[in-house]
Each structure stands twice: as C-alpha cells, then as structure tokens.
Structure 1
Amino acid sequence: MQTISLVILDRDGVINEDSDAYIKSPSEWIPVPHSPEAIALLNRFGIKIAVATNQSGLARGFYSEATLDLIHYTMQETLAKVNAAIDSIFYCPHGPDDDCICRKPKPGLLKQISQFYQCQLKDIPFVGDSMRDLEAAAAVGCLPVLVKTGKGNHTWEKYASQLPSNTLVFDNLMAFAKYYTSKYDEKSALLV
C-alpha cells in the first residue's frame, strides 16, 4: 500500500447544496459557496479528491444512473471553471433497507476508495456534514471532519458530545481546505 495525498468528501451538503427532496437533475446541483475554490486549493497542493456519497434516490426511483452521471458531469464542469477537479466518485445506489455494505455509516465506500488507490486510509480526512459520514470515517481510521454546511449545523447541535474523539469541525469546505493546506510547504503547490 502506498502513501497518497488524498481527501475524501461527501457530496451533498459539502460540495453542493443539499435537498430533502434529493438532487434529481443537473439543474438542481448548486455548489455550496466557495466549495469549488476549496477543491481547487486542495488540487494546487497535489491533493487528489475522492467523493463518497449515498445516492438512495437511485433505489427510490427518483433518478437514473444516466441522470446521476449527468449531475456529476455538471459538477466537474463547474469545478473546471476554477481549475478544480474531483479525481474519483464512489456512490452507494442502495436504499436504507437494502442491507448493503456501502451505505454510510457502513464503511464499504471508503474501503472501495482504499482499494482503488491502493492506500491505507489512516488519518486521511473524510469531510462530511452528517453523523453517518463521521461514523464511516472512524470505522476505517480516516480523520473525521465535520463541516457546518448542509446538515452540518444540525449535526453539530445534536451530536457535538457524540462525535468521534478526533473530529475536526469547520464552518465550510474552504475553511477546512485552508487549514489542511497550511501544513504543506508553499513550494509544493502545483502551478496552475
């Protein structure tokens, strides 16, 4: 297993605005303010970005895999406008009653990422806005990171005393990206 500069992100509520009615079309995909620029900042330091997202709207019939592909194409196109890119996207297509191993808080998606990159996940940040994200992170030794966008404020207010002990908390993805890249030497930043 190799060492890799990697950050794992939840999608809805972290990269884009969340919706209780689900993100069912490309037009409903709206970035959280400054999240594309946060990803660009991470990219400038050579950090790969993987996404781990529950997409139970597939199982519920709210959208098709082809539509999900178009949503992700829209996301990548939006990111490209600020010289940002997501390296890989892993999603769970199952519903809450399907008893799969990939639906967060189970760690299956994160294990897929570990296999894909042939790397250990110990201390690799997993940034999410829900308790299930943090629980999945803790299950595989990732560094749990809570952002207060999406459902994050609610998660903080309801579960602050129950968060995994090493959880970092930030207002948004940009605040995390600035903190995380501050440990890198400026000379290691890639020219864009």
Structure 2
Amino acid sequence: MKMLFRVAALAAAVLVASAPALADIQVKDATGATIATCSTAVSSTQVPCHQVKNAAGTTINPATSDKQPALGTAGAPSADVITVQGAPGGQPQPVDTVIRSTATDRGASVTTAGTAQQLMAVNTARRGFNIQNQSSGACYISGTGTATQDYHSLLIAAGSFYESKDSHVGTGAISIICAVASASVYSREW
C-alpha cells in the first residue's frame, strides 16, 4: 500500500512539473497591432485583463473613449447612424399590406363524386383565393392540372378551409374533385 502511494505521489509531481506555464494574453486590433496585454497567474507585470489600451499605450474606457457614434434625429441623415429609408431626404415610405380588391364568388356544388371539374378559370389578375369544403367527404384541388384524389392534389378535409399565401398565388385554372356527390364548396377569389 505504501509503495502504491509513493508511485501515485511521484506521478502527480511529474505531471505538475511538466505543465506549461500560462502565457500573457495579447488583444490585437483588426490590423494585427497589439492593443492590450493581460496578466495571468504567472506574470503580474502587465495590466489586468479588464483594462484596454489604445495604440499609444494609454489605458482607455471603450464606453467613452475614441469615436463613439452620435445619436441622430429621426428622419435626418447622420454620418454616425445607418438608416434604411425609402426615399432621399429620410422620408419613411408607407407599406400597405391590405389587398384592396373585391372578392368574386366561385362557390360551387361538385355534382359527381370522383369526377374533377373546374372551380376557377385562369385569371392572370388573381391576387388570392380561399376555399372551404362544406361537404361530409374529402375534396382535392389542383392549380397545375386536373385534380386527382391523391398526392398530386391538395387535400381539403370535410369542413376544412384553405387560403392561398399572399406571397405566391397561382393564376392558372383551379380544378376540384370530391369524394361525395353534391359536395358544397365555398370559394372566393380576388
């Protein structure tokens, strides 16, 4: 047991003796020039790490020294403030996200179960549409061809509502197929 303790103590002493000494930390600016050297446990001749020096070697407070951006006036150009505004002279531009259009009724009764029919014709001025399946069975729509009751068409479950995204609205014909006969479908386009 004594021998094992001596071996462990000798191994620990070798590890401590071979550990590298901690070096000072140097902080450099974008050009690679050293702007601060921080003390470590080994060396106490340098400045503490929380102090920063400028290129001349003077300790500075980054919150108050050198060039700090000046606060600008809203709507007025400033060399210290980056602004993104819609027109020269700093006038903000209104952004209107309300679609000002009258909706057109495209509601229908899909008469035959399992047979596709056109719900909306091609409309290059279409800005959006919505559809509600008011029947007891599933309906499918397609804006790229004839609707089918599979993964090639968008499923609208019984009682569900679909509205096109504002960012992308297809302008082609919209076809619909339903699983039940006489399926009532609420639909509007604008």
The higher relative CO (CA closer than 8 Å, separation ≥ 6) is in 1
* Structure exhibiting the larger radius of gyration computed from Cα positions: 2
TM tier, smaller: under 0.3
Alignment TM-score, normalising by the size of structure 1? 0.23
Identify, as 1 or 2, the structure richer in helix.
1
Alignment TM-score, normalising by the size of structure 2? 0.23
